[in-house]
Structure 1
Amino acid sequence: MKRILRLGCAVTAGFVAAHAGPAVTGIRPVRRFLWPHLAGVGADDHVALTFDSGPDPEATPRFLDVLDEYKVRATFFVLGSGLRRSPGLGREIAQAGHEIAVRGWEQRSLLLTGPDATYDDIARTCDLAAEVTGEEPRYFRPAYGILTTPALLAARRLGLTPVLWTYAVRGWTPYATPASVYRAAARRSVRGGTLLLDDSARPSQRWGLAALPRLLEEYARRGYRVGPLREHARGEPVFS
């Protein structure tokens, strides 16, 4: 009986490791050191500006106004549920020249989601994004940056490239302010990296919105090019 129990535990542990092993890439220093492409490291003079978890009818238009004022384009990783509620806003994002990428249908981790449900979740979002914008998405970023083996397999099957981020602004912390968000996003080492901000309805988005004009001005002063992921590669596509 003990042998059977040990065997069962070993099989279970192996299954969990196979399913959740890629989640180790969620640790930023590990990701950047071992998988720089997944960390969004690109051309040295470029910053890829990305937004997560929209579109949101309250927050997203405000970000679009700032980006339009500064003539900057970005990549928006959308939730399928948000896109279904606000398809016109999704079209507005694409028509303004921004890039639409795939987040997933809801803001939830895929760690406890099986292969079939994971594929359906990502494919459903991908299909809706293509229908709404007229363009096939190229990039995928899971909720909370937690990748699983089924998510990677689904992304490959759908022709999506997984990209997480080099730096995420911690605007959701209790002590966050526009100044703290600016300082985090303006760090020197962001050059050549991918920056994550949030355009969802969560309270944290207002700090990113307040800091964004000053941040774009600082990037321009330093001579950085700021744009979407599609412009981030060094010659050949970085993310493969």
Structure 2
Amino acid sequence: MRLVLLLLTGLLSAAVQAAPLEVATFDRRYWPEQLDTPTLFDVASRAEILGFARVLHESEALDEGALAKRLNLRQVNMVAVAALRQRLWQQLWRNYDLAQKSCEQDASFCYVIEHLGDLRQQAEKFEVAADSFYTAWAGPARVFHQRYLDEQLRKAALFPQTSSEIERFSDQERNGDGLNDRLFMLTFEGGPGPATDALTDYLRRQKLDATFFVLGNGIQARRDKSSINDLRALYQGQCVGILGWEYRSHAHWQQWQESVMRSAARVQGDLPEQYVPLFRPPYGQRRADSQGFFASQHLQVALWDIESQDQSALTAEQSAQRVLSLMLLWRHGVIQFHDNQPKAQAAVAWLLKNTAQSGIGWEDCKAYAARQQ
């Protein structure tokens, strides 16, 4: 019976999904200014918001067939897509309203926008003049916004058959929505691995902390290879949540509850000072009816808002540039990196260097874990 269910799940997935889309990335050198003041961060933020709003508006003209073709899918959940679009518009309006507070200091990309309807109207006609200081940014930015929007629409189109971070199932799940404007949080998953030691040491030297979502079997292997004291030194000053015992989808795995409980017990026992009661579902995949289980375990599902794509073919700098563009667009959120990727540290270093004077902040990992979403 289990084999039959697995085969049916695979067949349904194949019937819905086709080839994946190209990963969205953007070369920040096309933007002509350094983000070395909070005001210049706002200028770049307004540009990203308006550019993304333009392609979002254009996507609404697509019928179901045209959208499926564009997303390389055979079927599309149009209800989930409509819900995503509505949520994106609300986020864009809130973010633009925050970003326009500095228009007296620099009026670039400032328009009379007093409510969501104004933003929609401006998005419909938004363009960068051929003689603008920002002309070189406009074309590459449009490609980035289009590809990134397609990434989000595709996840919504597949939801909930294929769950992801695109939507929460309940209040037992959290992302970065509760963070203040300009406040971001670093998270890493997939470890511990060979790259984790240098990364945690780097973060401590930068006086930063992050939440590391670890594998139970990885923690056990690391402890067996070294010692529990070495394990605790590895994550000193950081927070440690769980990914489960193995890095595999917890949506259809029969032993998913055992995976969660076993890894939570392992990490809480070995790292009592660093442990936080947060579960990051591998690939963002989890069951729609799992909230009762997580509540019984005193765990929250920890999703993310900004995906670095550092496990793709992107270089460290390309990954960091993608993250920065999305930080400008969303203005707050949880950033997902993978510490089983050596490029993660280089990406974070680039990101810190290029936002040092921009007026952003980094959320304390313990404070985030203690938040009520």
Instruction: State the TM-score, normalizing by the size of structure 2.
Output: 0.50
Code of the aligned partner of 2:298: G
Shift of residue 68, structure 1, vs aligned partner? 1.6
1:178 aligns with 2:316: yes
Shift of residue 151, structure 1, vs aligned partner? 4.2
1:91 aligns with 2:232: yes
Partner of 2:331: 191
Contact 1:75 1:228 in 2 (8 A): no
User: Between Structure 1 and Structure 2, whose CA radius of gyration is higher?
Assistant: 2
Matches within 5 A, 1:1-240: 25-26=163-164, 28=166, 31=167, 38-41=174-177, 42-56=179-193, 58-87=194-223, 88=228, 90-94=231-235, 96-114=236-254, 117-135=255-273, 136-149=275-288, 151-174=290-313, 176-187=314-325, 188-200=328-340, 205-232=341-368, 237-239=371-373
Aligned-pair Cα RMSD in Å = 2.8
Shift of residue 126, structure 1, vs aligned partner? 0.4
Contact 1:98 1:228 in 2 (8 A): no
Shift of residue 165, structure 1, vs aligned partner? 0.3
The alignment partner of 1:102 has SS state of strand
Distance in 1 between residues matched to 2:367 and 2:356, nearest whole Å: 16
Code of the aligned partner of 2:276: P
Shift of residue 208, structure 1, vs aligned partner? 1.9
Cα–Cα, structure 1 residues 77 and 213, in superposed 2: closer, same or farther, change >3 Å? same
| CA distances 1:121-171 after superposition (whole Å, capped 9, x unpaired) | 101000011111124532111111102146433321110111110011112
Distance in 1 between residues matched to 2:291 and 2:218, nearest whole Å: 23
Distance in 2 between residues matched to 1:92 and 1:210, nearest whole Å: 22
Distance in 1 between residues matched to 2:196 and 2:345, nearest whole Å: 10
Contact 2:181 2:331 in 1 (8 A): yes
Identity of aligned residues (%): 25
User: Structure 1: any 5+ residue segments left out of the alignment?
Assistant: 1-12, 14-20
Contact 1:181 1:211 in 2 (8 A): yes
Distance in 1 between residues matched to 2:231 and 2:364, nearest whole Å: 16
| CA distances 1:84-117 after superposition (whole Å, capped 9, x unpaired) | 01134541244x2111111100001122223xx2
Distance in 1 between residues matched to 2:290 and 2:259, nearest whole Å: 9
Distance in 2 between residues matched to 1:227 and 1:103, nearest whole Å: 21
Instruction: State the TM-score, normalizing by the size of structure 1.
Output: 0.76
| CA distances 1:46-100 after superposition (whole Å, capped 9, x unpaired) | 11100001111x1101111221221100000010011001134541244x21111
Shift of residue 22, structure 1, vs aligned partner? 5.6
Aligned residues between the structures: 207
The alignment partner of 2:357 has SS state of helix
Code of the aligned partner of 1:182: A
Shift of residue 227, structure 1, vs aligned partner? 3.5
